Structure 1
């Protein structure tokens, strides 16, 4: 029976002579010169799956030397014939006794304090270490060795996993035609992955950057072969392009993630914020109303609250366009806004910049020692967007629970230490002053708004005073005329303030 199982597991696919050699050596516990020893930290289900995959796939060029786990009842036991050697703090001794070269942290549900502790133990042991993704990152919840990656700052952020009402989300996404604008962006592409878990009939990726569109198209078709993936190279600023997509596919659900988000860049190009963030949103709303789509979910930002920059003001007007739309008669479309702060790992975020500066030997540039921001993980944000979409009936502005604010200076110090250096010793931290349009802190609600809890612990709904829309359309028309000229920066900012009175740019 053992021989039969080995044959079926190892010889049912085409394999090379080298692979065959590795399999035979592995069966008789003879290690190849090319095989690297690895210690698996965590002797639970995830560790067992990683071990099994390493044993069954000779091409991985790994062999498992042992497990470590803080559950004392597991120490001394064996998994697939491999011993649980010690507690996690015994990593250094385990490395000496086994001569292992790497460690894999195989505990997807780790709390941040424990992750920090394990990272420090690995650093002290001077061993290469990697981790499995958190449960929120896993496609279909499956752990495979191909998903193992380096430990990153997001693993030390300490965000709890999201509880989703999967049945509710499945009811409004399952077997539906879904379009995601900005589908190649950091939020858009993760939204597409999360949506595909709920088995839509088809998903339309609407994106104007061809390379990101190509990449997410390939990724989704590989991971979700049973779902129709439709990549569309298009621009939300072109209403005709949007209309042609809706005529052909008639999407039921719209997730609008396409936007310009870079604060200093839009300060210098305010007409671009108007064309993309405002006119683009208006185009999409008009077409959604024309084709009577079921739901329209706008991805907004905390920078829309008491905005100090063009980007925030443009996103606040995008929110107002949706709120204005719910006043129309015979409305068939539910318009929902979801507002949240920064996400770890998004394009243009501060972490890639800090990592690049550390790689170059510093200095790491921070705008101000007291600047703080709210952060969440991209998968977490996208899961909550889907949850809010399920809850929304129309007209709501949902605010996501962002947790504790993070001091950017402390984040820089953490990243420097995480890279094996000491801040202001090995790597200098340099304070360069706030950039154009930047605030020391972001807010999630204005003084005239308040939030009330919902049935979901991480989602609140906004109660705000009614907006006076009497002059909204004339002002919006004038704003778009100013943007068309591209030389009226100050006039554009004055008009933004007329529409959004709480907008407070320094120049005005």
Structure 2
């Protein structure tokens, strides 16, 4: 699928970007070009120690910020596939610095959309988050806006072949800033801070996130928000799995946090279909109807009022399952 293609990943020095690059080089050895686009020169240097331009002739390191429209346009010359992973995603930082988050997550998204359209990029997949569904914090609100921009881009592409779609998934198990590495760092103290013992979150592995993006690149018709079927976990169970001998101290939820996360709301259900491994929230008033989409893909409509919530999910990870996954995926 990606052999002979030229790919650009925004925010490529993050956890997802590095896992995506690793997978592409292992699976598609004849990829034509793979552009790492990010604003952090140190992270690019560190990444180049693993994937050097000498050993991996397809890779390119391109310094730039999605806020800079002219820079992203320059980077997209000759590119036919784009993965948009750049974002400011720390909830407390976004609450304290709202317009900085807006400039990257919304204005930056629009810059990527317009540059892809101008260069007639074939396929664009943007990464979203469960916090974009019924958002209560600024980060989630900016990602919802970003999702809307990418989906609406399909309406203004004219005769261009560009297809824009979005993947929305939950907490990535070994990503930077996630709860498991935090608990690992704190367990030597003997006390783990727990926001709320009832709190739940969706869980996805980094590789499963990569696989989902690759699947979307191959199968998207344009305009979908894809949602994976993944398990949930309880924060208290994660603490038990990481450090069973530590005392759990309840500290209360932070501003902008939910007890449970959603990826599909009841309001979304009327535009949602089941694709087997994934759900897809379809655009209203897009270039296909729901019936046409179902006929083309074999999808089935979900029941009206359906919602996908981490607290009511039918699939929960046990403490032992969490412990096993942590051992496999998260370095101590």
| TM-score normalised over the length of structure 2 | 0.81
Kept in 2, the 8 Å contact 1:448–1:465? The answer is no
Alignment of 1:37-186 (within 5 A): 170=1, 173-186=2-15
- Find out whether 1:351 has 2:180 as its counterpart: yes
Select 2:34's aligned residue among 180, 190, 203. 203
Kept in 1, the 8 Å contact 2:8–2:76? The answer is no
- Distance in structure 2 (CA, Å) of the matches to 1:283 and 1:183: 17
Deviations 1:437-491 (A, max 9, x none): 000010111222123222xx42221135459xxxxxxxxxxxxxxxxxxxxxxxx
Kept in 2, the 8 Å contact 1:253–1:295? The answer is yes
- Per the alignment, residue 453 of structure 1 pairs with 274
- Per the alignment, residue 308 of structure 1 pairs with 136
Structure 1 or 2, whichever has the larger Rg, is 1
- Distance in structure 2 (CA, Å) of the matches to 1:357 and 1:246: 42
Greater shift in the superposed pair: 236-245 or 282-291: 236-245
- Distance in structure 1 (CA, Å) of the matches to 2:100 and 2:56: 38
- Per the alignment, residue 188 of structure 1 pairs with 17
Q: Which ranges in structure 1 are unaligned for 5 or more consecutive residues?
A: 1-169, 468-508
Deviations 1:369-399 (A, max 9, x none): 1000011110111111111211112111111
CA distance change for structure 1 residues 435 and 396 in 2, over 3 Å: closer, same or farther? Answer: same
- Per the alignment, residue 290 of structure 1 pairs with 118
Deviations 1:415-443 (A, max 9, x none): 113xxxx2xxxx22111111010000101
Give the aligned CA root-mean-square deviation in angstroms.
1.7
Select 1:335's aligned residue among 147, 160, 164. 164
Kept in 2, the 8 Å contact 1:376–1:402? The answer is yes
- Per the alignment, residue 199 of structure 2 pairs with 371
SS of the residue corresponding to residue 155 of structure 2 reads coil
How many residues are treated as equivalent by the alignment? Answer: 281
Runs ≥4 residues deviating over 3 A: 224-227, 463-467
Alignment of 1:269-288 (within 5 A): 269-288=97-116
- Distance in structure 1 (CA, Å) of the matches to 2:193 and 2:277: 32
- Per the alignment, residue 387 of structure 1 pairs with 215
Select 1:264's aligned residue among 70, 92, 110. 92
CA distance change for structure 1 residues 413 and 366 in 2, over 3 Å: closer, same or farther? Answer: same
- Per the alignment, residue 231 of structure 1 pairs with 61
- Per the alignment, residue 256 of structure 2 pairs with 437
SS of the residue corresponding to residue 177 of structure 2 reads coil
- Distance in structure 1 (CA, Å) of the matches to 2:155 and 2:282: 17
